[in-house]
Structure formats: structure tokens, C-alpha cells
């Protein structure tokens, strides 16, 4: 099939490359011309495992190209995926739909023939009819343009895998959708034939699927982090407790790692967006718990700052602190709402000299936080430090020998915010070892 993907960020670029991998002819479209140049050279403008390989393979095969032109995109295919960003509105909890409506407004007047617009961006429930109305009002093909809602559940750092082998496919349609379902089933036929559960539903259910899933994942994390607070007050070990709970298949251990909490471009914003939308719909009370989920999550960051201050005798001014990790989670260079950087910045504001290291996210961190110091090497970053904080659990950090580090540090104190360092090994190497939620 021929198809386009409008918006080539983490979601769209991955979707475009994966659709080419499925054998389709794909045109990716993004208004950022620099991004288009990078993508057309067969590289990703961000770090995502396996994506560079797919982009190189399919830009070379000619199945995948990128453009900044809406006219080209409209003329290229009659199936258009939209994967533009829908961030949180500044100072508000609601989604900012500017990019989505701008994309629809740009595309619509160029749709002269029947077409299907499949939206993947995460939105407040009730957006699909607005998109349809805009398209029908401005597209020359009018109601021959159909809207499908096809939420994307990919995790960063597993994005290619999750797109090619998703847990489920959700396809949301209006009552009148003769072409849309046929085209999407054809587009995803390999994935459907491989057995991915495929749920065909209405627009509202498809729209809610993504934000509800992310709100649940966030709730699971904040639940175990709330229990971590009780562990801190009682001397229990939240890591062991999570293992014990996780053996119950109804609970499950996955997605329940206690620690510094969640960040990134999705969980925090989807939690807040869902809460805001439920409020608008008069159903805010039903989701009041989500406000608490957010509060618990932010309290983890504060707890880490308090522990650091305590460790430094109550005053952080002039102290040297090393932070391992800048990305919001391992495996990505994404620093959106990164818990690690939020803590690092706060410690800097409290007077500490903070040196941050990360295997992938330093360039992004430098741009956003020029006030912090940076080091490429996690071992060198510990030179003369008063305190080491482990805030993003890159696997390579837990392989570093603490004995090797001890000689470099001015003061051998470490706080593990992610629960993946071996406490005994660090203590044996002479470190004062503390961890969130653990004795
Ligand atoms: C998430 C959803 O998992 C994905 O389905 C959706 O499409 C987009 O949002 P992502 O943001 O890539 O994906 O990351 P995820 O792996 O879910 O982690 C989100 C945050 O939660 C990270 O900051 C991570 O460190 C934290 N987290 C995750 C925990 O603190 N504990 C966990 O058990 C899991």
C-alpha cells in the first residue's frame, strides 16, 4: 500500500519506518526541515533502538522517503496516519491540540479524492468528531474523507518492536466507515495475521484507550511508590515487597518497579490530560485518584532531594553531587519530564555543584539545562564528589565496580533512586549506601 505518516517524532518516524518494513511505500511528512534531512539520510533524529537500521534499509530501498510538503503528502496516498505531538498545555493539565488541528487544516484542502485519515496521536476523548468536521468542511472530497482512530501504545526504547509486534491493535471508527476499516486491516494484515488481538470499536473508546492505559500504568508505579513511603517509615524493603506482590498474576511484577517515579512524554501528560478531560465531562470525581497518583510521583523526587540534603548534613551549598542518568528512562535520549534532571536541577538551585552523566541524553540535557555540569564518563563523573545519585537505571551503571569508584570520590556516599545497584557490593566497597524505599 501507499501511505503517509504526518508528524515524524518518536511515534511518527518509528511508524513510518515500520510500515516500510511491512512492505508498504511510505512518505513521512514533518514541517521541521532539519528533521526531514536527517531522516532522508537514513538516520533517526533521536536515539531509538533498531530505528536507524530500519531507516537506513528503507530509505535505501526507496520504500521510505520524507518530505516537508503537505501537497506532496496529500498527492502521495489515500491513507494518511497522523502522529503529531499533543503535549501538555503550558500551565494547564489539558492536552495542546494545536499541532493536530494544524495538520488537519493543512491536509484537508488538498484532499480531492476519497481518503482515510488514521489518527495515532493521543487526544482527549471527543476529539475525533472535531477532526471529522474540519475535514468535511475543508476537504474538496468532503464526506468521502473518513476518520479512523488508531492509538499507539509503543514504549520508547522498544518502539520498533512494539510497532511491529504490538500487544493489541485498536481501530476506532464512526458508524459510517466503509473504506477505513478495509484499508487499516489491509495495512496491518501481517500484524493481524500474526495474531495481534485486534479490537474494532467506536471513536470514543479508541481515544480513551491510550490515556486510560497510561493512567493505569502510572497508577501502578505510584502505588508501589506509595508503599515505598510506608517501607521507609517501617523498615520494610519495597524491592522485595514488589517481588512478593508480583507473583500474584492478578498484580504482576512488570511495570511495578519502585523508585524515583515516572517521567517522559506520555505518562505524566496522559494522566493529567485524562483528569482534565474527565473534569470537563463532569466525571472528574471518578478520576480524583489520578491527582493523587501525580502527587505521589512528584513526592518521590522531593524525597530524593531530602535524602541528599540529609546525607550532606542539612546544607547542600558548595557540595559536589554526581548524578548518574539524565534520560527519563534507560534506552532513550529523551529527557522530557525526566525525574533525574528534575532532581539535578533542584539540587543545583539549592546550591550544589551538580555533574550529570548519561550514555545517550547529554546533548539534549546540555541544551535544556546549561546550568548543570556534564561528564561523558560515569567513572570520571565521580571524581571528588561528595555524593553520588543513581537516578536513571542504565544497565551499565549497575556493572561499574564500586571499589574502583571509591578512590575517586571525596566522600563515599551513594543514594540509589532506582533500586538496581547491589547494596551489599557498595557497602563492602566502603560506601554509605541508601536507597529509596529500602532499609
Ligand atoms: C509509556 C507506555 O508504557 C506506552 O505504552 C505508551 O505508549 C507511552 O507511554 P514510555 O513513556 O516510553 O511508554 O515509558 P515506560 O517504559 O512506560 O516508562 C515511563 C516512566 O515510568 C519512566 O520514567 C520509567 O522510568 C517509569 N517507570 C516505569 C517506573 O518508575 N517503574 C516502572 O515499573 C515502569
- The CATH number covering residue 26 comes to 3.40.50.720
pTM: 0.96
Q: For residue range 379-407, list pLDDT tens digits in order.
A: 999 999 999 999 999 999 999 999 999 99
Residue nearest to atom 14 of ligand 1 (CA): 155
Q: Is residue 201 part of a domain?
A: no
Domain closes at, from 155, 173, 196: 196
Q: What is the pLDDT of residue 50?
A: 97
266 is catalytic: yes
Give the per-residue pLDDT at 293.
98
Tell me if 328 CB under 6 Å of ligand 1: yes
- Ligand 1 within 6 A of 359 CB? no
User: pLDDT by residue (tens digit) across 314-367?
Assistant: 999 999 999 999 999 999 999 999 999 999 999 999 999 999 999 999 999 999
Quick: pLDDT tens for 32-79.
999 999 999 999 999 999 999 999 999 999 999 999 999 999 999 999
C-alpha radius of gyration, the chain, whole number? 23
* Residue with grid cell 500474526, as numbered in its chain: 194
Render pLDDT for 125-134 as a digit per residue (tens, 0 to 9): 999 999 999 9
In a domain, 205, yes or no: no
Residue 177 has pLDDT above 80, yes or no: no
Return the CATH number at 231.
Answer: 1.10.1040.10
Q: 315 and 263 in one domain?
A: no
State yes or no: pLDDT of 145 exceeds 90. Answer: yes
- How many structural domains are present in the chain? 3
Q: CA dist 272 to 17, 294, 334, 347, Å?
A: 30, 8, 20, 26
Percentage above 70 pLDDT, the chain: 100
157 in Cβ contact with 334 (< 8 Å): no
> Based on the domain organization, do 219 and 261 belong to the same domain?
yes
- Residue 239 placed within a domain: yes
Tell whether 390 and 257 lie within a shared domain.
no
Grid cell at residue 236:
520494610
User: Does any domain span residue 43?
Assistant: yes
Q: CA 303 to CA 355: how far, in whole Å? A: 20
- Of the pLDDT bands very low, low, confident and very high (cuts 50, 70, 90), residue 165 is very high
pLDDT digits (tens, 9 = 90+) for 222-242: 999 999 999 999 999 999 999
Show Cβ contacts of residue 126 under 8 Å, excluding neighbours closer than 6 positions: 204, 207, 277, 281
Q: How far from 216 is each of 39, 213, 219, 223, 271, CA to CA, in Å?
A: 34, 5, 5, 10, 9
Structural domain for 220, as ranges:
211-296
- Cβ–ligand 1 distance for 188 under 6 Å, the answer no
Last residue of a domain, one of 241, 262, 296: 296
Confidence band, pLDDT 50/70/90 cuts, at residue 172 = very high
CB 3 within 8 A of CB 187: yes
Q: Is 159 in the pocket of ligand 1 (CB under 6 A)?
A: no
Please report whether residue 50 resides in a domain. yes
Whether residues 333 and 356 share a domain: the answer is: yes
Any domain includes 275 = yes
- Boundary (domain end) residue, out of 268, 296, 324: 296
Q: What is the pLDDT of residues 286-313, one digit of tens each?
A: 889 999 999 999 999 999 999 999 999 9
Q: Which of 270, 216, 271 shows the shortest CA–CA distance to 85?
A: 270
Q: Are 116 and 245 in the same domain? A: no
pLDDT-derived band of residue 178, with 50, 70 and 90 as boundaries? confident
Q: Do both 20 and 88 map to the same domain?
A: yes
**Ligand 1 atom at minimum distance from 266 CA:** 9
What are the distances in angstroms from CA 366 to CA 336, 351, 385? 13, 19, 20
With 0-12 CB in 10 A as exposed, 13-18 as middle and 19+ as buried, what is 247? exposed
304 and 283 in a single domain? The answer is no
Residues 227 and 267 in one domain: yes
- Is residue 176 over pLDDT 80? no
182 shares its domain with 222: no
* Whether residue 274 is found in the same domain as residue 355: no
Domain annotation covers residue 202: no
Which pLDDT does position 175 carry in this prediction?
83
CA of 267 relative to ligand 1 center, distance in Å: 7
Whether residue 265 is found in the same domain as residue 333:
no
**Is residue 48 located within the same domain as residue 178?**
yes
Task: Tell me how many degrees the CA angle 406-409-411 measures, rounded to the nearest 5.
Answer: 100
Amino acid at each position: 500500500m501507499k501511505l503517509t505518516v504526518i508528524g515524524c517524532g518518536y511515534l511518527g518516524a518509528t511508524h513510518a519506518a515500520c510500515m516500510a518494513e511491512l512492505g508498504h511505500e511510505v512518505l513521512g511528512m514533518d514541517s521541521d526541515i532539519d528533521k526531514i534531512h536527517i531522516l532522508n539520510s537514513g538516520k533517526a533524529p533521536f536515539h531509538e533502538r533498531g530505528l536507524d537500521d530500519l531507516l537506513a534499509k528503507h530509505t535505501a530501498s526507496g520504500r521510505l522517503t520524507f518530505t516537508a510538503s503537505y501537497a506532496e503528502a496529500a498527492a502521495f496516498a489515500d491513507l494518511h496516519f497522523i502522529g503529531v505531538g499533543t503535549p501538555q498545555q503550558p500551565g494547564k493539565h489539558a492536552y495542546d491540540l494545536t499541532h493536530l488541528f494544524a495538520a488537519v487544516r493543512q491536509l484537508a484542502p488538498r484532499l480531492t479524492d476519497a481518503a482515510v485519515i488514521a489518527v495515532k496521536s493521543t487526544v482527549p476523548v471527543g476529539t475525533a468528531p472535531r477532526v471529522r468536521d474540519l475535514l468535511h468542511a475543508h476537504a474538496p472530497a468532503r464526506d468521502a474523507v473518513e476518520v479512523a482512530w488508531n492509538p499507539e501504545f509503543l514504549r520508547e526504547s522498544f518502539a520498533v518492536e512494539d510497532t511491529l509486534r504490538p500487544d493489541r491493535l485498536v481501530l476506532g471508527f464512526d458508524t459510517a466507515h466503509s473504506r477505513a476499516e478495509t484499508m487499516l486491516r489491509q495495512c496491518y494484515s501481517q500484524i493481524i495475521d500474526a495474531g495481534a488481538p485486534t479490537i474494532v470499536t467506536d471513536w470514543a473508546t479508541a481515544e480513551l484507550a491510550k490515556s486510560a492505559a497510561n493512567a493505569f500504568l502510572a497508577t501502578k508505579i505510584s502505588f508501589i511508590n506509595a508503599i515505598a513511603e510506608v517501607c521507609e517509615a517501617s523498615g520494610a524493603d519495597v524491592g522485595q515487597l514488589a517481588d512478593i506482590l508480583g507473583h500474584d498474576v492478578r498484580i504482576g511484577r512488570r511495570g511495578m518497579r519502585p523508585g524515583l517515579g515516572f517521567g517522559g512524554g506520555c505518562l505524566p501528560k496522559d494522566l493529567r490530560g485524562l483528569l482534565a478531560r474527565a473534569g470537563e465531562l463532569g466525571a472528574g470525581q471518578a478520576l480524583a485518584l489520578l491527582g493523587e497518583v501525580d502527587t505521589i510521583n512528584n513526592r518521590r523526587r522531593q524525597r530524593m532531594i531530602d535524602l541528599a540534603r540529609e546525607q550532606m548534613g542539612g546544607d547542600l551549598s558548595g557540595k559536589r553531587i554526581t548524578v548518574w542518568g539524565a534520560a527519563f528512562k534507560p534506552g532513550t535520549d529523551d529527557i522530557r519530564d525526566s525525574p533525574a534532571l528534575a532532581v539535578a536541577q533542584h539540587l543545583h538551585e539549592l546550591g550544589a555543584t551538580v555533574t550529570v552523566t548519561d550514555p545517550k541524553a547529554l546533548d539534549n540535557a546540555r541544551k535544556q539545562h546549561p546550568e548543570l555540569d556534564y561528564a561523558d564518563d560515569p567513572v570520571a563523573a565521580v571524581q571528588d564528589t561528595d555524593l553520588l545519585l543513581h537516578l536513571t537505571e542504565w544497565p551499565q551503571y549497575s556493572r561499574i565496580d564500586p571499589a574502583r569508584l571509591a578512590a575517586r570520590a571525596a566522600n563515599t556516599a551513594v543514594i540509589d533512586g532506582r533500586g538496581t545497584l547491589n547494596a551489599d557490593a557498595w557497602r563492602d566497597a566502603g560506601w554509605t549506601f541508601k536507597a529509596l524505599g529500602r532499609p
